[in-house]
Amino acid sequence: MKRAVYINEEGLLHDLYCNNRISNRKYTLWNFLPKNLWEQFRRLMNQYFLLIACLQLWSLITPVNPASTWGPLIFIFAVSAIKEAWDDYNRYLSDKKANEKEVWILKQGIRKPIQAQNIRVGDMVWLRENDEVPCDIALLGTADPQGICYLETAALDGETDLKTRLIPSACTGIDAELLPKIKGVIECPAPDKDIRRFDANMRLFPPFLDNDICPLTIKNTLLQSCFIRNTEWACGVAVYTGNETKLGLSRGVPEPKLTAVDAMIDKLTGAIFIFQIVVVIVLGVAGNVWKDTEAKKLWYVRYPKAGPWYELLIIPLRFELLCSIMIPISIKVSLDLVKGVYAKFIDWDDKMVDPETGTPACATNTGISEDLGQVEYILTDKTGTLTENKMVFKRCCINGRFYGNETGDALADLELKDAVYCGSENVILFLKVMAICNTVIPVKSKNGLIAYKAQSQDEEALVRAAAHLHMVLLNKNGNIIEIELYGASIKYELLDVLEFTSDRKRMSVVVKDCRSGNVVLFSKGADETILPRARAEQQTRNFAEAVEQYAQLGLRTLCLAYRELRDNEYKEWASMFKEANSVLVDREWRVAELCERLEHDLEIIGVAAIEDRLQDGVPETIETLRKAGINFWMLTGDKLNTAVQIALSCNLVPPAPKGQLLIINGKSEDEVGRSLETVLLTIRRTDSEPR
CA distance 565 to 287: 98
Which of 10-19, 140-149, 562-571, 636-645 has the highest average model confidence (pLDDT)? 562-571
CA distance 566 to 519: 7
Angle between the N-to-C axes of helices 414-421 and 425-436, in degrees from 0 to 180, rounded to the nearest 10: 90
Instruction: Report the amino acid identity of residue 580.
Output: A
Q: For the chain, what percentages of helix, strand and coil (3-state, to nearest 5) are there?
A: 40, 25, 35
CA-nearest of 460, 517, 456, 452 to 491 is 517
pLDDT at 691: 47
- Going 193 to 199 to 204 to 209, the CA torsion angle's sign is positive
Q: Which helix (H) or strand (E) holds 545?
A: helix 541-552
- 464 and 607 both lie in a single domain: yes
Is pLDDT of 566 > 90? yes
Is pLDDT of 657 > 60? no
Mean pLDDT of the 13-32 span: 83
SS3 of residue 219 by DSSP? helix
- 639 and 491 both lie in a single domain: no
Answer whether 2's CB lies under 8 Å from 189's CB: yes
SS3 of residue 623 by DSSP? helix
CA-nearest of 253, 252, 265, 254 to 336 is 265
CATH number of the domain that residue 435 is part of: 3.40.1110.10
To the query of whether residue 413 is one of the catalytic residues in this protein, the response is: no
- 463 and 487 both lie in a single domain: yes
Is pLDDT of 398 > 90? yes
Q: What is the pLDDT of residues 455-465, one digit of tens each?
A: 788 999 999 99
Query: Can you give the residue range of the structural domain that contains 201?
Result: 3-20+119-251
Mean pLDDT of the 247-264 span: 74
CA-nearest of 395, 457, 436 to 561 is 436
Kindly give the pairing relationship between strand 631-635 and strand 377-381: parallel
The verdict on residue 584 lying in a domain is yes
Cis check: omega of the bond before 189, within 30 degrees of 0: no
pLDDT at 213: 82
Confidence of residue 690 (pLDDT cuts 50, 70, 90): very low
Q: What residues contact residue 510 under an 8 Å CB cut-off, 6+ apart?
A: 494, 495, 496, 497, 498, 519, 520, 521, 565, 570, 574, 598
- 399 and 434 both lie in a single domain: yes
Residue 504's region, left for phi above 0, alpha for psi from -120 to 50, else beta, is alpha
Q: What residues contact residue 5 under an 8 Å CB cut-off, 6+ apart?
A: 13, 121, 122, 138, 185, 186, 187, 188, 237, 238, 239
Q: Which helix (H) or strand (E) holds 38?
A: helix 32-41
The verdict on residue 561 lying in a domain is yes
Q: What is the pLDDT of residues 532-555, one digit of tens each?
A: 999 988 989 999 999 999 988 889
pLDDT at 444: 81
Is pLDDT of 177 > 90? no
Mean pLDDT of the 263-287 span: 86
- 158 and 194 both lie in a single domain: yes
- Going 385 to 388 to 392 to 394, the CA torsion angle's sign is negative
Confidence of residue 253 (pLDDT cuts 50, 70, 90): low
Number of domains in the chain: 3
pLDDT at 531: 95
- 422 and 570 both lie in a single domain: yes
The verdict on residue 672 lying in a domain is yes
Mean pLDDT of the 347-360 span: 83
CA distance 287 to 316: 8
CA distance 405 to 418: 16
The verdict on residue 240 lying in a domain is yes
More confident residue, 253 or 262: 262
- 677 and 608 both lie in a single domain: no
The residue among 612, 635, 667 that closes a domain is 612
Supply the mean pLDDT for the chain. 85
CA distance 248 to 476: 36
The rounded radius of gyration (Å) of the Cα atoms in the chain is: 34
CATH number of the domain that residue 213 is part of: 2.70.150.10
CA-nearest of 645, 619, 613 to 457 is 613
The verdict on residue 360 lying in a domain is no
Among 68-77, 116-125, 245-254, the range scoring the smallest mean pLDDT is 245-254
CA distance 563 to 522: 7
Is pLDDT of 440 > 50? yes
Percent of all residues in the chain with a pLDDT value above 70, rounded to a whole number: 93
**Model's pTM, two decimal places?**
0.74
The residue among 216, 251, 286 that closes a domain is 251
The verdict on residue 493 lying in a domain is yes
More confident residue, 600 or 24: 600
Determine how many CB atoms are found less than 10 A away from the CB of residue 115.
15
**DSSP β-bridge partners for residue 497:** 509
pLDDT at 600: 92
Answer whether 215's CB lies under 8 Å from 187's CB: no
Q: What residues contact residue 379 under an 8 Å CB cut-off, 6+ apart?
A: 633, 634, 635
Mean pLDDT of the 257-283 span: 83
The residue among 575, 592, 612 that closes a domain is 612
Q: ∠ CA(12), CA(18), CA(19), 5° rounding?
A: 85
One of 192, 292, 381, 567 is an active-site residue; which one?
Answer: 381
Is pLDDT of 256 > 70? no
Percent of all residues in the chain with a pLDDT value above 90, rounded to a whole number: 29
Mean pLDDT of the 452-473 span: 91
CA distance 457 to 452: 10
**DSSP β-bridge partners for residue 118:** none
- 656 and 578 both lie in a single domain: no
- 597 and 630 both lie in a single domain: no
- 569 and 674 both lie in a single domain: no
Q: What is the pLDDT of residues 84-125, one digit of tens each?
A: 898 889 888 988 998 999 999 988 778 899 999 999 988 899
pLDDT at 337: 80
The verdict on residue 173 lying in a domain is yes
The verdict on residue 491 lying in a domain is yes
CA distance 259 to 51: 24
Among 236-250, 398-412, 469-483, 653-667, the range scoring the smallest mean pLDDT is 653-667
- 478 and 569 both lie in a single domain: yes
- 662 and 604 both lie in a single domain: no
